[in-house]
Amino acid sequence: MIKKITAGLLLLALSTSCVSKKIYNELENKYADLKKENRTLADGNEDLTKSKNQLEQDLNALKLERDKLKLERDKLQADFSASDKSLKTLQASYNALEKDSNDALETNINKNRELLAKLETKEKALAAEQDRLNKLKAELEASSKRLSELENFIAAKDASMKKLKESLSKSLKAFEGKGLTIEQRNGKVYVSMENKLLFATGSWAVGTEGKVAVVEVGKVLAQNPDISVLIEGHTDNDKILGNIGGGIESNWDLSTKRATAIVNILSENKGVNKENLTAAGRGEFAPLLSNDTPEGKAKNRRIEIILTPKLDEISRMLNEL
């Protein structure tokens, strides 16, 4: 698009003989700078997408590790039960041998000696089994404690995310029915705003009502400084035609600029930790509904603010297991 504009200006310059070669060179340089900036934004968007996918993989790995610990705890419990049963069997055998030894003592000294030898062997086996049982019990208690701590921490994270969702729902109640939805899933909170609330067609400038909604989100985030915030821009599959708003070449570009506009508004709140904010453009490639209907396209044109708890503490606990 920029190249077409540059070529058009050049043609106009040549046809009118009113534009100098210096102006032509400036236009060429501006085109090269814009093209380089577009490549930089695309590379940045790819890195952010990889980071998001890695976080989701880390969360899934944590849940798998939790399930693994549960299986280990259950196995230790089964081993404990089996060993306890074996201990009782050995104890009964020991008692029987002791009784037999006392009964045979008067009639058969040699047999009594053999029984005593067997009894000694059984006692050693009993002591060894008791030691093993004690170790299994200690391991079971330690594993259960670590698993309980991990489960309590995950539960606390889920509870804090639920509270965060409730705070957002309360703050954004005025925007119900205006294309704004809030939901909690996979340990995260998703705030979705349709473009009809935020942007005019082809624009990345946030409207007055939409800015009020984003500012309310920022107030809640300022009270939750330990939340990672990913702002994703989404579009329908309509192609960019003409020079929309100046400098827009694709849905990727438009969705990125819209996500960045939301980040800029959130950043105006001094209580929001800017290190927690990430802007990403998804273009038309993550639709909610089919783009075959106007209703579906309207749902797909949206901003999603994805709130994720930081998992540093959970990672530390797993490393200590």
Interval 98-144: pLDDT, tens: 777 767 656 778 887 888 888 888 888 888 888 888 888 777 776 67
Pick the closest to residue 180 from 194, 166, 167, 200 (CA basis). Answer: 194
Q: What is the rounded (10 degree) CA torsion for 20, 25, 28, 30?
A: -100
Average pLDDT rounded to a whole number, residues 314-318: 60
Q: Is the pLDDT of residue 248 over 60?
A: yes
Q: How confident is the model at residue 9 (pLDDT cuts 50, 70, 90)?
A: very low
Which of the four pLDDT bands, split at 50, 70 and 90, describes residue 220?
very high
65 or 15, which is more confident?
65
Question: What strand order describes the sheet that includes 277-283?
Answer: 180-185, 188-194, 302-309, 227-234, 277-283
Average pLDDT over residues 194-220: 95
**What three-state secondary structure class fits 264?**
helix
The alpha carbon of 169 is separated from its chain's Cα centroid by a whole number of angstroms, namely 21
Q: Are the C-beta atoms of residues 291 and 301 closer than 8 Å to each other?
A: no
Output the pTM of the full model. Answer: 0.56
pLDDT at 4 > cutoff 60: no
**Tell me: the pLDDT tens digits for 145-191?**
777 777 777 888 889 999 999 999 999 999 988 999 999 999 999 99
The average confidence (pLDDT) of the chain is 84
**Cα separation of 286 and 302, whole Å?**
11
Say what percent of the chain tops pLDDT 90: 40
The answer to whether the CB of 195 falls within 8 A of the CB of 243 is no
